[in-house]
A and B are shown apart, each in its own frame.
Chain A
Amino acid sequence: MTSPLKVLTANDLAGGQVVFLSETGWSDRYADAWIFEDPAAADAALDAARAATLTLADPYLIDVAAVDGLPVPTSYRERIRALGPTIHPDMGPQAEGGALVEALQQAKGAARSSGRLGLIRRK
């Protein structure tokens, strides 16, 4: 039994927009998010984010499942947060479209892993 994959998220302090920790810092795009397979590494990143109070508000970890090789947040709340308001498809990160955005939009209920994550985006 492997532990769930994690993504570290927060809101940008000055702008308020949802951000995700990527390999090169904080990004507005969920597609850039760094996928943690190691819970200890995820916790360490969360601690670091909590210390970075100058640029971030409310950092926390979310659970992610590998669905058809793509990292999909387990809860629909986190999927909506990663996409933007569902009633305004032109607003938020969902506006740029793409396979990952579609995977999030199509996931139903509590997403469950359906195998391994695609290779590129693992840490």
Chain B
Amino acid sequence: MAHYEEVTVRGYDEFCQAISERKGKDIFAYFSGDKDAQGKSWCPDCVTAEPVVRGEMTHLPEGSVFIYCQVGERAYWKDSNNQFKKTLKLSGVPTLLRYGTPQKLVEDECFKSDLVRMMFTED
């Protein structure tokens, strides 16, 4: 058994649902462009970042939650009024954040394993 829970969601509503079911937990959320049938995301940076982030997941704190969230198709994401951008104030994908804190890694910051590990291991 992993020492953290991994949840996979798609879209803003599912994301909010996942969050509300895990109130009070240490939640890490990773936002990525949707994957196609071949499992490849339309967002090239997400393709680069994913193995880096996954590679550090063993460092996630005990009892924490990792939410893998696909934000949608490219067209939806490019709309500057989409709910991820408007409500969650995301500025790009991939974004890795520690929910409810200012800790956030955006785009090429997610390529750097030591930055990802810092988020997973330090307060």
Interaction A to B: no
